């Protein structure tokens, strides 16, 4: 097959972060997440070879996959391998070359694996069907089919996944998301986000908690301690109160939201992976759980944390976090979703 001008594509997928909904989204509740202005770039092209060659800054070696040949040892168990096999069949693709460049550190916990899965799916689909490169014309068709493939690959690799990250990275902005076993997604809601940057600061500890291990054990801890219903109620109350702050529904809601978020965090303090050193340090800061508060995000609190409060009220906490090795992410948010060029 001759390779033509339509046989190359660039896909850009933003980073993401969950504000509210860790674990509760797996029990059918709405979560709240937003996209950030850091992007993973996937350059994909057809080739006349019978193999798929992947170059990426996410791993150290060139990955070459060819039917009938053993998978390189460093790539065994990687989510990209079964995904490539499925995409080749689904979109009738044989020879491919992919170059993947991440716009953030994988240890920041900003959705590297979901961005990789979604980006590769979108690239494969657009090589097969160039007309979908006009994203606005395609919603909610093939692009959501690609997102679903990426989510199904997550579930296969991790054992559990809501796919909120994939949906958020596809849509962009501040997004509410839920799903059920029968329907993915069940609901997707775009929320106003004008004031988000006034109240939210994001920090990374650079630990990169493994979702499969930490997430599954934290879920088990919640269920074994019969905290599931209480946890869901507290998570929804914190989420709803913060949305009211963003929408200016009433006065003094900053304090109400801070109290709800603090109550939510308290239920997780005894959980096996909660960063207690962080709690001990921040509770010495002026205005803790009154003028500002924080919560963990990601698999178990080792990926990133969020400070809630105005920059004036979080100044001491930001210095304290820096002294503990946490760095504030210099980001603008929310931003647009995935793009295909």
Q: What is the pLDDT of residues 318-341, one digit of tens each?
A: 999 999 888 898 888 778 899 998
Q: Which of 111-120, 246-255, 268-277, 281-290 has the lowest mean pLDDT?
A: 246-255
Give 223-234 pLDDT, tens digit per residue: 999 999 999 999
Alpha carbons 267 and 328: distance in angstroms, whole number? 25
Task: Tally Cβ neighbours within 10 Å of residue 272.
Answer: 10
- Confidence class of residue 2 from pLDDT cuts 50, 70 and 90? very low
Q: What is the CATH number of domain 196-328?
A: 3.30.70.890
Closest CA to 111 of 162, 46, 53, 187: 162
pLDDT at 97 over 80: yes
Closest CA to 184 of 219, 151, 222, 212: 151
Q: Which of 94-108, 110-124, 312-326 has the lowest mean pLDDT?
A: 94-108
Q: Radius of gyration over alpha carbons of the chain, in Å?
A: 21
Residue 214 CA from chain centroid, whole number: 16
- Confidence class of residue 250 from pLDDT cuts 50, 70 and 90? low
What the block records as the tokens of 241 is 């109160």
> Which pLDDT value is given to residue 207?
56
pLDDT at 282 over 50: yes
Closest CA to 314 of 197, 195, 201: 201
pLDDT at 248 over 50: yes
Q: Where in the chain is the domain with CATH 3.30.70.890?
A: 196-328
The answer regarding whether domain 8-191+334-340 maps to CATH 3.40.50.720 reads: no
Alpha carbons 11 and 171: distance in angstroms, whole number? 14
Are the CB atoms for 41 and 101 separated by under 8 Å?
Answer: yes
Q: What is the mean pLDDT of the chain?
A: 87
> Which pLDDT value is given to residue 216?
82
Q: Where in the chain is the domain with CATH 3.30.230.10?
A: 8-191+334-340
pLDDT at 5 over 50: no
Alpha carbons 12 and 43: distance in angstroms, whole number? 9
C-alpha neighbours within 13 Å on the C-beta side of residue 51: 11
> Which pLDDT value is given to residue 78?
82
pLDDT at 1 over 70: no
pTM of the model: 0.91
Alpha carbons 186 and 28: distance in angstroms, whole number? 9
């Amino acid at each position: 097959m001759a390779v033509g001008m339509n046989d190359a594509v660039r896909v850009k997928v933003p980073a993401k972060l969950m504000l509210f909904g860790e674990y509760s989204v797996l029990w059918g509740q709405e979560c709240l997440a937003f996209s950030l202005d850091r992007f993973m770039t996937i350059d994909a092209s057809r080739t006349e070879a019978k193999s798929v060659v992947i170059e990426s800054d996410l791993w150290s070696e060139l990955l070459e996959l060819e039917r009938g040949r053993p998978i390189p040892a460093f790539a065994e168990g990687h989510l990209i391998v079964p995904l490539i096999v499925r995409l080749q069949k689904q979109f009738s693709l044989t020879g491919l070359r992919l170059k993947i460049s991440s716009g953030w550190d994988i240890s920041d916990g900003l959705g590297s694996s979901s961005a990789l899965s979604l980006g590769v799916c979108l690239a494969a689909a657009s090589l097969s069907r160039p007309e979908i490169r006009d994203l606005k014309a395609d919603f909610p068709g093939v692009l959501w089919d690609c997102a679903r493939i990426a989510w199904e690959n997550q579930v296969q690799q991790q054992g559990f996944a809501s796919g909120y990250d994939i949906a958020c990275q596809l849509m962009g902005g501040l997004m509410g998301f839920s799903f059920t076993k029968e329907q993915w997604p069940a609901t997707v809601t775009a929320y106003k986000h004008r004031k988000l940057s006034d109240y939210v600061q994001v920090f990374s500890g650079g630990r990169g908690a493994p979702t499969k291990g930490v997430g599954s054990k934290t879920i088990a801890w919640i269920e074994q301690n019969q905290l599931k219903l209480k946890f869901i109620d507290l998570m929804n109350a914190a989420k709803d109160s913060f949305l009211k702050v963003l929408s200016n529904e009433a006065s003094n809601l900053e304090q109400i939201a801070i109290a709800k978020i603090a109550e939510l965090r308290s239920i997780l303090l005894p959980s096996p992976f909660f960063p207690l050193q962080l709690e001990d340090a921040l509770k010495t800061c002026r205005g803790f759980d009154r003028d500002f508060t924080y919560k963990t995000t990601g698999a178990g609190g080792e990926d990133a944390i969020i400070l809630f409060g105005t920059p004036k009220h979080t100044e001491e906490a930001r210095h304290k976090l820096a002294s503990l090795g946490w760095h504030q992410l210099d980001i603008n948010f929310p931003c647009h979703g995935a793009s295909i060029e």
